[in-house]
Amino acid sequence: MAKYRKRPDEGVPITRVRRPWVNKGELYAVADQLLGASRIRVMCEDGKSRMGRIPGKLKKRMWIREGDLLIVKPWDFQDEKSDILYRYTKTQSSYLKRRGWIPHNIDVF
CATH number at residue 50: 2.40.50.140
Q: List, run by run, the mean pLDDT of 10-residue segments along the chain (109 residues).
A: 59 71 90 90 92 87 89 92 92 88 79
DSSP label of 46: T
Residue 60: per-residue pLDDT: 82
The DSSP call for residue 56 is G
In angstroms, the Cα distances linking 38 to 20, 55, 74, 88 are 21, 8, 16, 17
**79 within some domain:** yes
What is the structure's pLDDT at 7? Answer: 60
pTM of the model as a whole: 0.78
* Residue 70 falls inside a structural domain: yes
**φ/ψ bin of 38: left (φ > 0), alpha (ψ from -120 to 50), beta (otherwise):** left
Answer yes or no: is 14 within a domain. Answer: no
Q: What is the pLDDT of residue 104?
A: 84
